[in-house]
Structure 1
Amino acid sequence: MSMVSHLNFDIKEILAKESVITAFQPIISLKRKRIVGLEALTRGCDPANDSMIPPNLLFEAADEAGVTIELDRLCRRTAIKNYRKIKNHRDIVLFLNLNTSVLNQDCELQMRTKIYADTEGINYGNIAMEIVESAVENNAKLIEVIEKYRELGFFVALDDFGALHSNLNRLVITKPDIIKIDRCLVNNVSKSYYQRSIIKSIIELAKTIGSLTLAEGLEEEEDIFTCYEMGIDLYQGFYFARPGEFDEIAVEGCINRVLTCADKIKKNIETSINENKEKHKENQKIIEEVERRLNKLTIKDFFQEFQETANGNDSVQCIYLLDSSGTQIGPTICGCGKKSLKQNHFFRPAEELDDHSLKDYYYYISHLGLERFYTNPYISLASGQLCRTASFRTNAGAKNYIVCIDFIEQKLDIQV
């Protein structure tokens, strides 16, 4: 069947003949290794030549003809009817896209969905209404729509979150059941620290407000592995299945992909744990060697030792020394990565007499009495690279000091 690429069809004839079909795309729980939902995606079918009409052209034509409400209702009604035909549909949640342009037009919006579900004998708790929050400018209207659906017992999902002008505050005021994270954040997330940071923020907020997170548009294994490590709850994308008929063949193919992916995730986690253990072991060797050598030196010889350590270990970005108050003693000693260190208003190595007293690597050693401390990964102000700082106590003469070693965690391309 060919695909229509322009508006050369009669939208009113399509509506009159109810010439639309529903394609279903599975939504996956990798922890449970099963399909937990289906997103209903509508396609038009031109009665004149049986050509397939993509949804964007379908709704564009409906908008021009002033029949958007009628098309939106037809899509929902058809999707629910086709969902009802699926074997064991009660074990799967139907995700229905709500055209946001009808929010202010269709006064029967929620009741129509209720009627369609009642007609097919579908429990409201088996339906999740997807709303693109960035397309709704009026907060009050968004909250009103969500609350009405929720009162009836429907799930509510905010779709395409992270695209366009998505607002984190809207997650707080709407508290959706599911947050669908847009493909623009998910695509290549395994290679982007920034995308991971944004998604982690969404996940943390979702946990706070009691929402599940769903990563959509997944096509690459590496992105799925990364999403799993970050704590994403649900998964959707071409990797698992393309939209289409949800028959036994489609189910079997999708489940096989899920099981294969789950097995690879397990192996990936094991590999990651082993790699981190090895990295930690190597870092510990460096720390212990520096500690051993410093015990034999006076403070004036510390910096020569720092330079030799930094030059001799690719994983060491820089080393610096703090006094008991958190004030830096002497310069920051940079190693093999010195050429990549940035020199501008935002990123520069700390200098003598700089105050580090609010930094974790100082505070935990100084105030909690720890002998050693490892920070979580963070963007180094010395280089703009992802690093972890290891700090430990040492002394010279009668004075106590804290040695700080920045280990490179991951090289990033940061432009400031």
Structure 2
Amino acid sequence: MHLSSITHQGFQEAYRGLSLQSHFQPIVSLSHQRVIGYEALVRSSANARSVPPVQLFQLASSLNEELQLDSQVRALHLQNYAAQSSHGQWLFINVNPETATQDLANPHHLWSQLAECGLRPQQVVIEILEKRFRDEGLLHDVVAFYKQLGFLVAIDDFGAGESNFNRIWRIEPDIVKLDRSNILQAESKPQVRRILPRLIALIRETGALTLIEGVETREQAMIAMETEVDLLQGFYLARPEAGFLAQDETLLETIHHLHENSLRSSQEFDNGYVLWRNRFGERMQRAAQHLSHSGNLRNACKPLMAEDRTLRCYLLDRRGVQQGEAILQPSNLTANEQRFTPLLDSSGACWSRRSYFRRAMAVPGRVHFSRPYMSATDGDLCMTLSLGFFSNLGQQAVICLDLLADQLLSASA
């Protein structure tokens, strides 16, 4: 590789009158509280005028020239990374389908680029933009190829365009980078914010680390903290910069503050749950005692239904089968009632698969709270309080109270 110059900002290359530089954006592990990698990004300029990467590659007059330019940029990133004093972090490099195909056909070229810089594959994460691979077979072969050589592989921009879990299951990447659109939607839509932690958990069950990119504000960073994501990247933490890499003390302080704020927020949320458990707990206990003596659900539920957040109260037997109709709160009937008419009558329904039933049966005498979920009765977002007790016939039973989750969560916040 011919390096045109070296400055205080590292090695530079020249292409069609442009100066090419490597900029590096830190990627942090929230649990380790430190930078564990850097994504290499090309920056080009001429006469103090910057040229976006997309326009840079549009200057190539042919596919062959584009491949040569991409190879030149990759070599530049590897050289600048190799010049750093510490190689304790991964180098993330983007690879397009055309370059990946070329690597498949000529792996010696890739090996020679690494050898020239004195690097090992284990130090490099190959970032693959999943949606650019139209050929499923090629995507699978490319991921297997890089992993066999010892590289780590990251799927980029997951959750955008045509991304799907089928590909993740099949190709088994080491890291899945969630597209910025995920965190933006979570910021504006409460339902996405609730679902995002489960999406992260599901990806992790495939055996991949998870990374949320494009985090630009404190609010977005706090949402990311809620998800238990492994890695984080974005302007809120650090912008891409040229030059040699170093652990930024300001960045480390930002990570520490995120943990402190996340712990405080979690404690406040838990305290909110405790307040609501205490508020309803005594009445749930009294309702269970009333049922154990009289068996009259309507009279037992009256104190519970006095709350404006309640949806319904119902009784389950030891098999999880609902005994009779639920006692409804008329003031909370919503437009969903008409749309979900076939589901409204839940008498005789079996709720044994629900976690709130299983927990109440396993630990009777204690009030349990479910996570927010969409009710299969009316389509409302609700949370269920459940309490296991012994009925007047000596059989174990569970009394349940459904609450409007949006109101409950907003009141706990």
Contact 2:309 2:407 in 1 (8 A): no
Contact 2:386 2:398 in 1 (8 A): no
- Aligned pair in 2 of structure 1 residues 360, 209: CA closer, same or farther (>3 Å)? closer
Distance in 1, Cα, partners of 2:339 & 2:374: 15
Map 1:184-223 → 2, pairs under 5 A: 184-189=181-186, 192-196=189-193, 199-223=196-220
Identify which of 376, 390, 395 aligns with 2:391: 395
Tell whether 2:124 aligns with 1:127: yes
Counting matched residue pairs gives 394
366-375 or 381-390, which deviates more: 366-375
Match of 1:75 in 2: 73
Distance in 1, Cα, partners of 2:115 & 2:150: 13
Q: Secondary structure at the match of 1:179?
A: strand
Q: Which sections of structure 1, spanning at least 5 residues, go unmatched? A: 1-12
Match of 2:354 in 1: 360
Normalised by the length of structure 2, the TM-score is 0.82
- Aligned pair in 2 of structure 1 residues 359, 79: CA closer, same or farther (>3 Å)? same
- Aligned pair in 2 of structure 1 residues 368, 96: CA closer, same or farther (>3 Å)? same
- Aligned pair in 2 of structure 1 residues 210, 333: CA closer, same or farther (>3 Å)? same
Match of 2:83 in 1: 85
CA shift for structure 1 position 221 = 2.7
RMSD (Å), alpha carbons: 3.3
Tell whether 2:130 aligns with 1:137: no
Tell whether 2:18 aligns with 1:22: no
CA shift for structure 1 position 400 = 7.1
Distance in 2, Cα, partners of 1:43 & 1:113: 22
Give the AA of the match of 2:399.
Answer: V
Distance in 1, Cα, partners of 2:299 & 2:243: 68
CA shift for structure 1 position 21 = 1.4
- Aligned pair in 2 of structure 1 residues 361, 70: CA closer, same or farther (>3 Å)? closer
Distance in 1, Cα, partners of 2:295 & 2:327: 17
Tell whether 2:408 aligns with 1:408: no
Give the AA of the match of 1:332.
Answer: A
Tell whether 2:56 aligns with 1:61: no
Contact 2:292 2:390 in 1 (8 A): yes
Give the AA of the match of 2:78.
Answer: I
Distance in 2, Cα, partners of 1:260 & 1:368: 39
Match of 2:43 in 1: 43
Contact 1:15 1:70 in 2 (8 A): no
Q: Secondary structure at the match of 2:337?
A: coil
Normalised by the length of structure 1, the TM-score is 0.82
Contact 1:326 1:357 in 2 (8 A): yes
Give percent identity, aligned residues only: 26
Map 1:17-416 → 2, pairs under 5 A: 19-46=19-46, 49-62=47-60, 67-88=65-86, 90-104=87-101, 110-189=107-186, 192-196=189-193, 199-245=196-242, 251-294=248-291, 297=294, 299=296, 302-310=297-305, 312-322=306-316, 326-335=320-329, 338-340=332-334, 342-346=336-340, 350-351=344-345, 353-360=347-354, 364=358, 370=364, 374-381=369-376, 382-393=378-389, 395-396=391-392, 402-410=398-406
Distance in 2, Cα, partners of 1:167 & 1:241: 29
Contact 2:101 2:142 in 1 (8 A): no
Distance in 2, Cα, partners of 1:272 & 1:357: 27
Distance in 2, Cα, partners of 1:362 & 1:278: 19
Q: Which sections of structure 2, spanning at least 5 residues, go unmatched? A: 1-12, 409-413
Q: Secondary structure at the match of 1:97?
A: strand
